[in-house]
Structure 1
Amino acid sequence: MTLAIDVGKGTQDVLLTDKLDENVVKMVLPSPTRIVADKIRQVEGDLLCTGNTMGGGPVSKVIKNHVRSNDVVMVEEAARTLSDNLDFVRDMGIKIIDKEEVQDYNGYTKVEMGDLLLDEIHGFLDSIEIKQPEKIGIGVQDHGVAPEGISDRRYRFSYFKEVIQEKGLLKDLVFKEKTGRFSRIDSALSQLSSYESIALDSKIAAIIGCYQGGDEIVVDAGNGHFMAASIKENKLVGLFEHHTRMLDDDRITELIDKLIHGEITDDEVFGDGGHGAYVSESIEPEKIIVTGPRRDVMPNTINIEYAHPIGDVMMSGAVGIYKSFKLKEQNKN
């Protein structure tokens, strides 16, 4: 059995199955960042954050609020949730310690951080007598640890560009070992070391989950990020990523048209406030497939097909994670 967990800002979308059909175990749960943020919000007094690097958003906001009137101490892995630049975290007034020092802060309320709530998921599966997974995959959004002086938007997108320039293999966007580049992905893989496991960016997971095998444009219109990929003969030949809130009908139409015709450029998307773009060749798409919680932003002038893998649009990323196990086994050479 394979457990696929797609972690977003609002929800974590969970799939447990050994085959893809509609009669599977699937759950849409609050995201870990919301759950951990709620725990911290209830803390009165000094706070000790242990655990691992996780998605920021709500949890970052509540920690920044807490440190205004209380001591906040974090182990290094947890502190990277706020920033990979630990000096920046210290400048917030947060103390960063080694794991061995945790015992020195017994008077602090301890909250464990992490993108994986495996104990809770395993406990639920046990309670309804469902077989536990042998494989676990996770999707998280990761900007990467950008070198000093390089925009994290540029750095995040630079790996996607490298993959397209190399061979465009989707499997090269799926990781089984630590990357040394993406801290959140590496943290998740550390937590899954006792399983056969994979990790990948959640936007890429959604693209893989919705891709049907032809020459296609696949769009994931998320709450924060808008990504569109051109895939030709099972290879990624183009990609752009922007911020959903910054796009209107005309801009979406223009960018997708340029992606199709191989004319989109990195500078125009980055200069427009997005992450970036790269395209190696044009495409004649058989269809334009759209998923994501903000799919309503797509202009009605574009002929699109809404994705609903295994009958559920919320499972796009989780299905992509499940499919990524098989992708990683293909073309090993």
Structure 2
Amino acid sequence: MKILSVDIGTGTQDIFLYDSNLDIENGFKLVLPSPTMMVHRRLKQALHTRTPILLSGYQMGGGPSAWAIEEMARAGIPVYMTPSAATTLNDELDKVEALGIRIISDDEIKKIKDVEELELRDFDFNLISKTFNDYGVSLKDLGAIAVAVFDHGNAPAGISDRQFRFDYLDERIKAKNSLSAFAYLSNDIPKIMTRLQSVADSASGLPCPLVVMDTAPAAVLGADFDPAVAQRKAKIVCNVGNFHTLAFRLGEKGIEGVFEHHTGEIDLPKLESLLRALADGSLKHEDVFNDMGHGALMYSNEKFEFGKDDFDVVVTGPRRSMFALSQKERENLRPYFAVPFGDMMIAGCFGLLAATAEILPELAEPVLGSLRSGRGRGVAPWDG
């Protein structure tokens, strides 16, 4: 049985093909440019030649792609977008038009001449399938596909995207105190989670069930399959992403606290201060939100003590090198860089597999058997 897992971030899309017939370390993996970076590069070429652009398709991750689209519009180059593609920039289309971008219907596409057309989408199954097929690996016999993206949600006009996302996180944690609460079958996606829904819409006609999930909980869940992390009943796991840094405080009963900030707005001292406040229960929502972050939630008044074990905080994510500085001073938090099955970059894929096993119980036995196989292997944590 095979499961294709795809963790789509800002810099890379990390792909792991699980095969129950193989040891999990032998599963095929790819780390490729993210879809938003691929679009960014295409648009930079069009900017250089001043080629008009027609963007169709679906809502996808912004950041680099959005910056390139806006740069073209500012340069006076004609930019046309269909309504669904335009939500990549903003769910309120009048704000997209205010940038100088023309919104056109799908019926009007054929009337637009002398433009380069580019289809926006986060998940391109056909392209991934072709890549594997070029190496003699077929994706026709998949038991499931699991995809992770970051979704702010569709906030109503006048409501902060950051506050809206944290209200959503709070609702999910209270409904199901588990990291897998942020994963859904494609037909169960909440209506407010428009980017998750766009992944499902763009993947219609797949040969198997589709599971979608938020990226950071997937990475944190995947980090727990590092044997040193799995041995801890209580832990703080911090995922330092290219755009967002999210830390979960986890205990025997589930999620005890969480905060999410923009990586570009923090340095190591600020991050360690937030982690200490998360540990002692003093962290407040406004401490993060008023600092241009997303926010914080606390569900326990008990204190998590640093310094009593061989490491303080579990770290994962593509920007985890931020913590390398703390090796120089023992008074700073001692990080452990999680490497589930020997590979930090696809931690999110392992989290996706665990969530898929819960959502599709018919797949649970082989998947969980494979994932748990690594937990007993001794790995020495960082010792300073």
TM-score bracket for this pair, using the shorter chain length? over 0.9
Q: Tell me the SS of whatever aligns to 1:42.
A: helix
Amino acid across the alignment from 2:271: I
Does 1:55 pair with 2:58? no
Residue matched to 1:118: 125
RMSD across aligned positions (CA)? 2.0
CA–CA separation in structure 2 for the residues paired with 1:306 and 1:41: 35
CA–CA separation in structure 2 for the residues paired with 1:115 and 1:308: 26
| Alpha-carbon offset, residue 18 of structure 1 | 2.7
| Structure 1: tracts of 5 or more residues without a match | none
Q: Tell me the SS of whatever aligns to 1:82.
A: coil
Residue matched to 1:165: 174
Matches within 5 A, 1:25-104: 25-43=28-46, 44-67=50-73, 68-104=75-111
2:264 aligned residue (245, 260, 271): 245
CA–CA separation in structure 2 for the residues paired with 1:250 and 1:108: 48
CA–CA separation in structure 1 for the residues paired with 2:129 and 2:295: 39
2:284 aligned residue (265, 275, 285): 265
CA–CA separation in structure 1 for the residues paired with 2:76 and 2:68: 12
| Alpha-carbon offset, residue 73 of structure 1 | 1.1
CA–CA separation in structure 1 for the residues paired with 2:314 and 2:19: 25
Residue matched to 1:317: 348
Residue matched to 1:196: 209
Amino acid across the alignment from 2:169: F
Matches within 5 A, 1:219-258: 219-233=238-252, 235-258=254-277
Residue matched to 1:297: 322
CA–CA separation in structure 2 for the residues paired with 1:222 and 1:322: 20
Residue matched to 2:189: 178
Higher mean Cα deviation, 76-85 or 17-26?
17-26
Residue matched to 2:219: 206
The number of residues matched between the two structures is: 330
Amino acid across the alignment from 1:139: A
Does 1:10 pair with 2:21? no
Does 1:146 pair with 2:155? yes
Does 1:135 pair with 2:144? yes
CA deviation map 1:287-330 (0-9, x unaligned): 63110122122334213221111211111112111221013246
What TM-score do the two structures reach when normalised by structure 1? 0.92
Of all paired residues, the percent bearing the same amino acid is: 33
Give yes or no for contact 1:230–1:283 (8 Å, CA) kept in 2. no
1:7/1:86 CA distance change after superposition, 3 Å: same
| Bigger Rg over Cα | 2
CA–CA separation in structure 1 for the residues paired with 2:359 and 2:129: 25
Give yes or no for contact 2:180–2:217 (8 Å, CA) kept in 1. no
Give yes or no for contact 1:215–1:234 (8 Å, CA) kept in 2. no
1:134/1:82 CA distance change after superposition, 3 Å: same
| Alpha-carbon offset, residue 165 of structure 1 | 2.8
Q: Tell me the SS of whatever aligns to 2:349.
A: helix
CA–CA separation in structure 1 for the residues paired with 2:180 and 2:359: 5
CA deviation map 1:169-207 (0-9, x unaligned): 222211223321122111001123433111112112111
Residue matched to 2:25: 22
Q: Tell me the SS of whatever aligns to 1:223.
A: coil
| Alpha-carbon offset, residue 108 of structure 1 | 2.3
| Alpha-carbon offset, residue 258 of structure 1 | 1.9
What TM-score do the two structures reach when normalised by structure 2? 0.81
| Structure 2: tracts of 5 or more residues without a match | 362-384
CA–CA separation in structure 1 for the residues paired with 2:282 and 2:172: 19
